[in-house]
């Protein structure tokens, strides 16, 4: 098989960057509290796999998401143990940002939504109010430490289709604030390659130099097809969660993120290199059911369990 | 979003044909015998969904695959009840073909492999011996009633990568026999879009007019990405199994077929029409765990169960 053939269809990048988000997006959807030491042990496994960036935790209301009540301890311990890995903390507001800064996050991932309904459910603010808070956060810590995540960038559980113009308008404001990058999230995993292509092509045309991360849930099993579509447009930075854990507590029906081990296997199969050791991620993922009490949603883990009889 | 944008990347066909194979490929991997009446009830549900072609059963050694011991009864009853739907029976040899013909199969799906090792495991013959039997089967019933399935058309569980030239060579012989069509199967679900693209482009160049069906397992979660890749080359006929059931009894580690309901959802999202009612397939799939005792491997079923609390 001639690899050049395939690149005529999908000119995939030579390298991709994978950001591990299981400790934040995965854990926040686990109902039973995962002991802090367990969280740290899982982070140790993931750090070992070679990620340059890990979303370690989130500073959110412990009433809304009790699982993240130990964010300060987890982040502090991660930073102490894993010097050299960019430690990201998700924050939905100034209050969370202050705590994340106080606990040494390298990067704040400020979350807001492209759709008003989801932004209200997720942050109890209008999108404009979230943008005002984002500006304050940029002022607090310097915009170069702030990344913004646009939830519901393709579809919204409450509003359905999200027009690409709404995304462009929001990304425009985010970039004007000087943020270091922006994530576009398929929060509920209902975007198709057609939808992804339309929005991502427009974003690439408008912001060719921006650091754009894709955060895709796999509710409909289309995450890898969406990632391939994105790569054909030159995108090469992807969030993923070991074991396919995740979801959105305020987005009914959302399945987990694309499993990191499935994404790494896919990238390898397409000849795209990363810094991450897929075998180590798979091993870390295989431990998660015992450690977190939730089942995996991972093709590579299922295949391994089937082959080994585990 | 402008659909024309997406077609610049993936010129998907306007229509696709989906062939339901759960009653054969799905059931053959269920260890506990599914009562004949249950099989027929599931076939009734699937027939109701609008498939033009269903792979109803297989005529194989009941010692090797006891689940298919009632093939004659199932096929006879299906034909009696569902006039107008093309009833396909898989056969691995002349003996099976004779039984399938005697019981009124419209089409015999003769299976052989592109790799010697898998052909031997699956049929206890060399590929040449299988080709000789295929010729006999064509002679028995008329080649226009014979479809050939090429297993391990991309990768083999025993030999690894299968060169596209081996596939071309085999398809050449199949078409020379006058068969009505040929399936290319990713039997163990380990083909990547890159591999699929390479083989399918070569097949399309060599046999632009042939009726080529793709039969893709979803072991690595790449089935939909593979189907999108195939559609970009003009392929538009796909096997799929309700509930994602399936595997290969003689291919260790293989997961099920792409779930029909996931494929239909994907095609709809890409603007590709079919004759099949996705809702009816989903309903049929949701009944399968209770009826067959095996869990589903289906994103759309999981999403539905999550939303309905089932």
Is B19 near chain A, with CB under 8 Å?
no
**Phi, psi torsion values for A236, nearest 5 degrees:** -150, 25
- The active-site residue, picked from B22, B156, B179, B248, is B248
Nearest in space to A3 (alpha carbons), one of A268, A238, A300, A233: A268
Q: Chain A contacts of B234, Cβ < 8 Å?
A: none
Choice between B79 and B298, residue whose per-residue pLDDT is larger: B79
User: What's the pLDDT score for residue B5?
Assistant: 85
What is residue A251's predicted lDDT score, i.e. its pLDDT?
58
The mean pLDDT value for B266-282 works out to 97
Which chain A positions have a beta carbon within 8 Å of B164's beta carbon?
1
Q: What pTM did the predictor assign? A: 0.96
Q: What is the reported pLDDT for B143?
A: 97
Q: With a cut of 80, say whether residue B241 has pLDDT above it.
A: yes
pLDDT above 80 for A93: yes
- Bridge partner residues of B111 (DSSP): B149
> B29: closest CA among B265, B288, B238?
B288
Half-sphere exposure of residue B233, counting CA atoms within 13 Å on the CB side?
30
Residue A306: predicted pLDDT = 74
Q: For the segment B140-198, what is each residue's pLDDT rounded down to a tens digit?
A: 999 999 999 999 999 999 999 999 999 999 999 999 999 999 999 999 999 999 999 99
Measure in Å the smallest separation between the Cα of B38 and chain A Cα atoms: 27
Q: Which of B9, B192, B262 lies nearest to residue A197, judging by beta carbons?
A: B9
Closest CA of chain A from B142, distance in Å: 35
Judge whether A234 is closer than 8 Å to chain B, CB to CB.
Answer: no
- Report CB contact under 8 Å: B199, A307: no
User: How much is the pLDDT for A1?
Assistant: 44
* Burial class for A79, CB neighbours closer than 10 Å (0-12, 13-18, 19+): middle
Q: For residues A164 and A160, what is the distance between their CA atoms, to the nearest angstrom? A: 13
pLDDT band at A309 (very low <50, low <70, confident <90, very high): low
Give me the pLDDT at residue A12, please: 86
Given a cut of 80, is residue A297 above it in pLDDT? yes
Task: Give the tens place of pLDDT for each residue, B50-103.
Answer: 999 999 999 999 999 999 999 999 999 999 999 999 999 999 999 999 999 999
CA-based nearest distance B4→chain A, Å: 9
Residue B238 has which token pair?
A: 């796909």
Q: What is the pLDDT of residues A59-82, one digit of tens each?
A: 999 999 999 999 999 999 999 999
Residue B3 has pLDDT above 90, yes or no: no
Q: Is B262 close to A197, i.e. CB distance below 8 A?
A: no
Contact A269 B232 (CB under 8 A): no
B296 contacts chain A (CB < 8 A): no
Contacts of A195 in chain B (CB under 8 A): 1, 269
* Partner residue opposite A225 with nearest CB, options B194, B225, B303: B225
**Across chain A, what does the average pLDDT equal?**
94
Which of B201, B218, B299 lies nearest to residue A220, judging by beta carbons?
B299
**Closest by Cβ to B299, choosing from A195, A219, A262:** A219
Domains of chain B as residue ranges with CATH: 3-308 (3.20.20.70)
Residue A119 at interface with chain B, using a CB cutoff of 8 Å: no
Q: What's the pLDDT score for residue A252?
A: 62
Per-residue buried b or exposed e for B168-196, using 16+ beta carbons within 10 Å of the residue's own CB = bebbebbbebebbbbbbbbbbbbbbbbbb
% of chain B at pLDDT higher than 90 = 88
What's residue A310's pLDDT? 52
Of chain B, the percentage scoring pLDDT greater than 70 comes to 95
- State whether residue A123 sits within 8 Å of chain B by CB: no
Q: Does B29 touch chain A (CB under 8 A)?
A: no
Say whether pLDDT at A83 is over 50. yes
What is chain B's mean pLDDT, rounded?
94
Whether pLDDT at A156 is above 80: yes
If pLDDT is split at 50, 70 and 90, which confidence band does B1 have?
very low
Judge whether residue B248 has pLDDT over 70: no
Let me know: does B196 contact A5? Beta carbons within 8 Å. Answer: no
DSSP-derived secondary structure for A63-103? TT-GGGTTHHHHHHHHHHH-TTSEEEEEESSHHHHHHHHHT
**Pair of tokens at residue B174:** 């199949």
CB contact under 8 A, B194 and A269: yes
d(CA A192, CA B265): 10
Residue of B nearest to A258 (CA): B221
Question: In chain A, which residues have their Cβ closer than 8 Å to the Cβ of B260?
Answer: none
* B203-226 pLDDT tens trace: 999 999 999 999 999 999 999 999
- 10 Å CB burial of residue A120 (0-12, 13-18, 19+) is middle
Q: What is the ipTM of this complex?
A: 0.95
Which residues on chain A are in Cβ contact (under 8 Å) with B161? 1
CB < 8 Å to A29, chain B: none
* Residue-wise pLDDT tens digits, A218-241: 999 999 999 999 999 999 999 999
Rounded Cα distance, B59 and B57, in Å: 7
Decide: helix, strand or coil at residue A183. Answer: strand
Interface of B with A in 155-214 (CB under 8 A): 161, 163-164, 192-195, 197-199, 201
Q: In whole angstroms, what is the distance from residue A213 CA to residue A231 CA?
A: 11
Exposure b/e, B10-37, CB count within 10 A at least 16 = b: bebbeebbbbbbbbbbbbbbbeeebeee
- The tokens describing B173, both together, are 């012989």
**SS3 assignment for chain B:** CCHHHHHHHCCCCCECEEEECHHHHHHHHCCCCCCHHHHHHHHHHHHHCCCCEEEEEECCCCCCCHHHCCHHHHHHHHHHHCCCCEEEEEECCHHHHHHHHHCCCCEEEEEEECCHHHHHHHHCCCHHHHHHHHHHHHHHHCHHHEEEEEECCCEECCCEECCHHHHHHHHHHHHHCCCCEEEEEECCCCCCHHHHHHHHHHHHHHCCCCCEEEEEECCCCCHHHHHHHHHHCCCCEEEEEHHHCCCCCCCCCCCCECEHHHHHHHHHHCCCECCCCHHHHHHHHHHHHHHHCCCCCCHHHHHHHHHHCC
């Amino acid at each position: 098989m001639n690899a050049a053939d395939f690149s005529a269809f999908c000119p995939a990048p030579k390298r991709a960057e994978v950001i591990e988000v299981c400790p934040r997006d995965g854990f926040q959807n686990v109902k039973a509290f995962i002991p802090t030491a367990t969280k740290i042990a899982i982070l140790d496994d993931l750090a070992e796999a070679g990620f340059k960036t890990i979303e370690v935790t989130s500073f959110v209301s412990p009433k809304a998401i009790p699982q993240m009540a130990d964010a300060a301890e987890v982040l502090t311990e991660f930073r102490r143990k894993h010097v050299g890995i960019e430690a990201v903390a998700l924050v939905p507001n100034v209050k969370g940002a202050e705590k994340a800064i106080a606990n040494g996050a390298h990067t704040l991932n400020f979350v807001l939504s492209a759709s008003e309904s989801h932004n209200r459910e997720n942050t109890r603010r209008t999108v404009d109010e979230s943008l005002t808070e984002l500006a304050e956060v940029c002022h607090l810590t310097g915009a170069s430490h702030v990344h913004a995540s646009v939830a519901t960038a393709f579809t919204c559980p409450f509003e359905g289709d999200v027009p690409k113009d709404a995304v462009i308008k929001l990304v425009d404001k985010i970039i004007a604030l000087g943020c270091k990058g922006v994530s576009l999230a398929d929060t509920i995993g209902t975007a198709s390659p057609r939808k992804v292509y339309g929005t991502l092509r427009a974003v690439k045309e408008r912001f060719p130099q921006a650091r754009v991360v894709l955060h895709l849930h796999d509710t409909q099993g289309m995450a890898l097809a969406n990632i391939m579509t994105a790569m054909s447009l030159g995108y090469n930075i992807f969030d993923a969660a070991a074991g396919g854990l995740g979801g959105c507590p305020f987005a009914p029906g959302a399945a987990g993120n694309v499993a990191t081990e499935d994404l790494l296997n896919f990238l390898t199969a397409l000849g795209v290199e990363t810094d991450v050791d897929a075998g180590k991620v798979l091993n870390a993922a295989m431990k998660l059911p015992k450690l977190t009490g939730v089942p995996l949603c991972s093709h590579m883990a299922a295949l391994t369990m089937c082959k080994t009889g585990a």
